[in-house]
Amino acid sequence: MEDKTHKHVANGNCRDINIAVLGAKNVGKSAMIVRFLTGRFIGDYDPHMDAIFDTHIPVDGKHFTAHIMDTAQAQDCTTSSDSEFKEDPVSWADGFLLVFSLTDRASFTMVREMVSWLRTVREDERVPILVAGNKSDLVHLRSVTRPDCDTWAAEQGLLFQEVSASEDPASVQRAFISLCRHVRALCKKREKLSWTLQRPAVAAKLQIRQSLKNLAEKKIWRTRTSTF
């Protein structure tokens, strides 16, 4: 049986963050990237050009290098037969920005499928994902409601933000920074775990401490229940 999973190899350097931007055609992926990198809005892009852009960004008072992949060629990663597309963003990225258009419900459906697919192929329910509903300025054309987005995102444990690449550059900035902050937090947890595992004595002490804490909590619970 063919192995459909894609193992992610961590950077090993929390100062470099790889972000892949995925979504259907014409939802504004490239527009969001350009807006974030340059502050400008450009409406027309080459739909057949993939690219990786590097930028330095501040996250909680510290500066990091973000490598942002614009996946223009293969729009639906869940069905694409392009193995290069499947391998590159999925295995390469530390976090994913999934973009759909608030004026196109089909693009929202695709993003929902992408979330399940990414978690499956990465074998990780905690893979950092931020979902961005673009074109929030086109209120009269909207077909995906905010309650729909909020409910689904809460059920899936996802970060979600509405943005407008054309009218609200600050919203785009917040989306990228929020995702980078999420990636950074998980990276720090990995570093701490790695440091602990490399020191058996420390790991043993932590395990004993946790066992004593669990025992104390059980005693408190038994004391409380015995009074009823």
Q: What is d(CA 132, CA 147) in angstroms, rounded to the nearest whole number?
A: 14
Q: Per-residue pLDDT tens, the chain, 228 aa: give them.
A: 344 444 454 555 567 899 999 999 999 999 999 999 999 887 766 655 668 899 998 888 888 899 999 986 444 555 544 444 444 688 889 999 999 999 999 999 999 999 999 999 988 878 899 999 999 999 999 999 999 999 999 999 999 999 999 999 999 999 999 999 999 888 777 666 555 556 666 556 667 777 777 777 666 555 555 555
Q: Say how many CA atoms lie within 13 Å of 33 toward its Cβ.
A: 27
User: With contact defined as beta carbons under 8 Å apart, do 33 and 97 qualify?
Assistant: no
- Total Cβ atoms within 10 A of residue 174: 15
Q: List 20's β-bridge partners, or say none.
A: 69, 96
SS3 (DSSP) at 73: coil
Entry pTM = 0.75
